[in-house]
Structure 1
């Protein structure tokens, strides 16, 4: 059998299945590769074996070979240890971004080359194009509701040159229809959601295995204690669920939201109102920026940005500092911009790159909140 020119990352889901189908129908010599990125922790919640069986079944249906690689140790070192360190510091990391950079477009790409392939392909919803200067661009997918360029913003020219996204021009509904017409075993399989190594299980229970509970006070921004939390690292800005705050005397019967975290003092700050001014910010600063093209378009420019996935792109002004970090000012206030998450910049459909959010000018970040000992309990 001729060596496959492209190795398709087979996840056991419908998207990678159709990516392989489209490449095979185009006449491309392909093979599949199933990556195991998380070692079974004995909880019974790991779906890797089911996904592996589905990947094998799809490759059998398509008549292509399939390879297997265990990247769980690389995932632990490159993704999970960072994930834990960020949560322990009170930040909210995005493991999908790191997984793409450290595993899928690094170790998977290396494995494909070891197998003699020139390219890898995945079921991501994104596109690749050339600009007028001959540089590769990462573009949003045709299906804006499924676009995954946000999670791919750490890719550079070398990775894009070796990558194919066969679903970039498709709608998700058409992907499902094509899978069904080809009788692929994954045609009706439910999409996976959430963080891959946590799956369907309770997030707090999972994180508690690695970061022991450290209960503390839940306080209002003016310092009044209104409850207890199991650990500030279990919560993220803008979160409503899991606070377990009942009726509080002197306050309306309205939901409470996380508006700040003080890890050093072990205090979780909450307020009422989905758009509480305590969680709004206009300015942010980032860690070192990654540019898809290799360089910024200018030292000072206007573009749009997302501070989380599935957010409408927001107009902003960007200043690139000499050390590679960014200072960004949005045209309108932004809700619950969260340190540890990714800021991703766009020029229309073109993803310029992204960086980890370091700080914002949200009220509880830009000034120290009242120390709990100085304020009586409610």
Structure 2
């Protein structure tokens, strides 16, 4: 079928003959996706995943996929006159997301559970469920763009609304999954989405966006982890990078890389008067390592579980560095870096050092720093290497402490 005869979802079928399962979370974004596709004449089926105990989160502001959100999704589906199903994915979500999050946090990492939820639940198990329902496509309300890559497949790009861009959380999407996924909001701005919701009379038109980690009901990560992994709260030492023991803590789960406040020690205890930051967490020895801001500088990271969706194969890159742009946190724009593959291991060297980089975080790869950059993939940080200047900085701090 020619390009002119393909429908708006880039399929060679009439909309009426195309079944689309829409992942309806109960928020405005996925609700608008369902409304738009219904309006365009597609055979739309709404499906909501119950991911955790909705009773505990029913009245918690900013939660998703539970309680009130399930009710809202039902109401929207009724308004649009489309079938709607609620599927119990609590057990899968616990095993693939919650348990892994708790374990990673207990190991001193900074995990990003939304990535695992997307890649292992919504874009894996849920895609299979959509297929069982006879769907051609699974559509979601994520802010990311999907377009033909010119080689018979599809590619991911940052969303038009850079303030809402969710590409950081979707880097693990595979080529196979991209073929069956569509993101209708990728080219839209958030105010436009809310305006469409109002036009369709959707009760969620002005509903606040979900925030933080949905399954941490109290909003306190440390309390949640302690319930899941009591051994993670064992006390230990707070150690300066020069080796001095400055104090004691009640559990590494109370600390994250880059943290400055609430360390439980004073600047005077460090002997330098400088502010101190958490620069490393040694879970094996229950130690929190602190140091001056300069000690946070990271020049290189090693990656695990790398997903490559750029042109060619990841192995083709080899030991000759490839220019890329990367993000190690969702709130910052891509920065220049070099990607290297050697002995099957991927590493990224930043052109300018990055602060506060922690194992467990995602390192997402792009082909440029433009707002419409293509997502090349990414991986999870498993090790960090400090800036070459750190050795001199830390040596200087040691001499100062010794009176040298």
TM-score (norm 1): 0.88
Q: Which runs of 5+ in 2 are unaligned?
A: 1-15, 396-400
CA distance in 1, matches of 2:270, 2:359: 32
2:349 to 314, 317, 329: 329
1:247, distance to aligned residue in structure 2 (A) = 6.0
Q: How does 1:23-102 map to 2 (within 5 A)?
A: 23-40=37-54, 48-102=66-120
Higher deviation after alignment, 226-235 or 201-210: 226-235
Q: How does 1:149-188 map to 2 (within 5 A)?
A: 149-188=167-206
CA distance in 2, matches of 1:228, 1:25: 61
Alignment-derived partner of residue 289 in structure 1: 306
Aligned residues of 1:193 and 1:199 also touching (Cα < 8 A): no
The SS at the match of 1:287 is strand
Is 1:207 the counterpart of 2:225? The answer is: yes
Higher deviation after alignment, 42-51 or 326-335: 42-51
1:340 to 344, 360, 364: 360
TM-score (norm 2): 0.83
1:104, distance to aligned residue in structure 2 (A) = 0.2
The SS at the match of 1:277 is helix
More helix by share: 2
Aligned residues of 1:194 and 1:200 also touching (Cα < 8 A): no
Aligned residues of 2:222 and 2:253 also touching (Cα < 8 A): no
CA distance in 2, matches of 1:314, 1:342: 14
Q: Which runs of 5+ in 1 are unaligned?
A: 371-375
The SS at the match of 1:285 is strand
2:207 to 176, 182, 189: 189
Q: Return closer, same or farther for 1:243/1:176 CA change in 2, 3 Å cut-off.
A: farther
Aligned residues of 1:281 and 1:362 also touching (Cα < 8 A): yes
Alpha-carbon deviations, 1:161-214, whole Å to 9, x = none?
111101101111221222223221111111111112114532221111012221
Aligned residues of 1:281 and 1:334 also touching (Cα < 8 A): yes
Alignment-derived partner of residue 243 in structure 1: 263
The SS at the match of 2:67 is helix
1:318 to 339, 344, 347: 339
CA distance in 1, matches of 2:191, 2:148: 27
Aligned residues of 2:267 and 2:275 also touching (Cα < 8 A): no
Alpha-carbon deviations, 1:109-167, whole Å to 9, x = none?
11111111111111100011122322311111001111111111111122111111011
2:328 to 290, 307, 316: 307
Higher deviation after alignment, 224-233 or 146-155: 224-233
Aligned residues of 1:78 and 1:98 also touching (Cα < 8 A): yes
State how many pairs are aligned. 364
Aligned residues of 1:139 and 1:350 also touching (Cα < 8 A): yes
Q: Return closer, same or farther for 1:231/1:306 CA change in 2, 3 Å cut-off.
A: same
Alignment-derived partner of residue 137 in structure 2: 119
Q: Return closer, same or farther for 1:116/1:317 CA change in 2, 3 Å cut-off.
A: same
CA distance in 1, matches of 2:288, 2:269: 19
Aligned residues of 1:126 and 1:141 also touching (Cα < 8 A): yes
1:42, distance to aligned residue in structure 2 (A) = 5.1
Is 1:279 the counterpart of 2:296? The answer is: yes
The SS at the match of 1:204 is helix
CA distance in 1, matches of 2:55, 2:236: 29
